[in-house]
Structure 1
């Protein structure tokens, strides 16, 4: 069968150095990989703060070395302990500096810590299952700055409550962060339901960590969900950058080829790897 092309692809979720754990690429090496394969954009993510400032510097370097071109990096903020959790000032500052995605807590979410046998962490909702006031303030800022809400590693229960409230408040750019990740643990039925009820995007990633440096391929499960949900509400991302997995561009190509070889058309791939993400980033 034909080979897929990475020309124009966008990945909303890639990890790179500097980071607390080892990563396969630095920000600059990731930019070089993106340029090399003809990608349109990459959003770099960290669990420990912000990345829009890093993306800005990489873009300036890219322009200085290569001149004006079509590749861009973007960044965001993740609301873990390193930024004070639901820190409204930190979020507004990040958005003013160009952050495109605000991720709810990931490695510091109560749901994440509980999955690893730990206590503590952050929840988006109170004991009455209402979205916290500070989270609502953050949603208002995401709307104001036309950014994207990523649900992070919170529980399916929190996801449904958060998404319902965010939609009520007028937010339409919502991405369910790798719902297949065992820590998040969203069933196929819940993924279908949340798309049907709220018209959100499911971010389906290349692989997931099982602990101890072991990663499990998501490709078969991704294919099954795409067939059930349809391409219009799917974002094909890698969550790449781990030294245990193939380099970002290799993983992305393998992911796309897997889907194409099983009957997903190039038009459908374009929607899931380019058009949906471009619409969310505002770079159509």
Structure 2
């Protein structure tokens, strides 16, 4: 019998309905699943910009249906796509005031994303100009620093990421997550990831599966993730699903399969705990052990 348990786990990257793409669960259905398995926290994400307000509605639902002592909290964030004006410090500030826990750089509006999707990258959001981040991004970094939340690199290129991460660190941002660097759109080499960890003390978010393009089946990342953990070290890796696709298993099955695979691969359960609890607890400002 597997020693894997979902009790107390956190997943900082799940997509839900309502969305322009049909998702497997609504916000409330995901909250139901999280309470069932004893999860501590989930961060819901949308390419449409804000999820922090939706997260609070889900939390109110959980309190009314399950009571005050489930131990589960849903969080949201802000994705800086064109739908909210791109790198928009005012929108970010409003999201932070509502309780956002992660601010993502552009996803579908990233130049890298458009390029990899065969579209004109110049239609995307400029983040780096003449080797430096744009002024608006510096304002966003200051807000992230002041609210002590996470910066997610989203769908930017490795070349952009090195400039952005250095500028964010210089601005005092303490929590930086390299969003699914294994995804072919982002396409960070192992050397890139090792350098980012070594030079900037970032967290590498490694997700359950990746979209390989329109009409193609998803690719399971589990073997590559396990190998990366062995090479880079578990201390800087966060296990997330990037779940919510109807083509893939439901969220709780993804998380269970992911953790079970790592355990079978030889990753100690204590290290899995670190990657699914210790790291996201710190990023979310949760006191370790508060899931008990």
Q: Deviations over 1:186-213 (max 9, x none)?
A: 0011101100111000000000001124
Q: What is the aligned counterpart of 2:258 among 255, 259, 270? A: 255
Report if aligned partners of 2:76, 2:101 keep a CA contact under 8 Å in 1.
Answer: yes
Match of 1:92 in 2: 93
2:223 corresponds in structure 1 to 220
Indicate if the aligned counterparts of 1:195 and 1:233 stay in contact, CA closer than 8 A.
yes
d(CA) in 2 for partners of 1:193, 1:227:
16
2:256 paired with 1:271:
no
Please report how far the alpha carbon of residue 2 of structure 1 lies from its aligned counterpart in structure 2 after TM superposition.
2.9
Q: Which runs of 5+ in 2 are unaligned?
A: 288-292
**Offset, 1:64:** 1.4
The separation in 2 between residues aligned to 1:15 and 1:244, in whole angstroms, is: 13
Tell me the TM-score normalized by structure 2.
0.96
Instruction: Say if 1:123 and 1:154, in contact at 8 Å, map to a contact too.
Output: no
Give the corresponding residue for 1:146.
148
| Residue ranges of structure 1 left out of the alignment (5+ in a row) | none
C-alpha displacement of 1:168: 1.1
| Mapped partners of 1:8, 1:277: distance in 2 | 11
Runs of 4+ in 1 over 6 A off after TM superposition: none
Identify the residue that residue 52 of structure 1 maps to in structure 2: 52
SS at match of 2:44: strand
* Residue from 157, 175, 180 that aligns with 1:155: 157
Distance 1:138 1:269 in 2: 32
- The yes-or-no answer on 1:121 pairing with 2:130 is no
Structure 2 CA distance, aligned partners of 1:110 and 1:123?
7
Tell me the residue number matched to 1:40: 40
- How far apart are the structure 1 equivalents of 2:28 and 2:50? 16
Q: Work out whether 1:20 is the aligned partner of 2:23.
A: no
Q: Deviations over 1:20-78 (max 9, x none)?
A: 10100000000000011111000000001100100001101111111112000000000
Question: What is the distance in 2 between the residues matched to 1:64 and 1:179?
Answer: 38
Q: Report if the CA contact (8 A) 2:148-2:174 is conserved.
A: no
Match of 1:190 among 189, 192, 195: 192
2-structure distance, mates of 1:231, 1:171: 22
Secondary structure class of the residue paired with 1:53:
helix
Report whether the alignment pairs 1:103 with 2:104.
yes
Are 1:168 and 2:170 matched, yes or no?
Answer: yes
C-alpha distance in 2 between matches for 1:60 and 1:177: 29
Paired residues, what number? 283
**TM-score, normalization by structure 1:** 0.98
Cα separation, 2, equivalents of 1:281 and 1:66: 23
Query: What do the CA deviations read for 1:218-237 (whole angstroms, capped 9, x no partner)?
Result: 11110111011111111100
Paired residue secondary structure (1:210): coil
Look up the SS of the partner of 2:210 in the other structure: strand
1:79 alignment counterpart = 80
Distance 1:43 1:160 in 2: 25
Q: Secondary structure at the match of 2:13?
A: strand
Question: How far 1:172 sits from its partner (Å)?
Answer: 1.1
- Give the aligned CA root-mean-square deviation in angstroms: 0.8
CA contact (8 A) 1:235 1:277 kept: yes
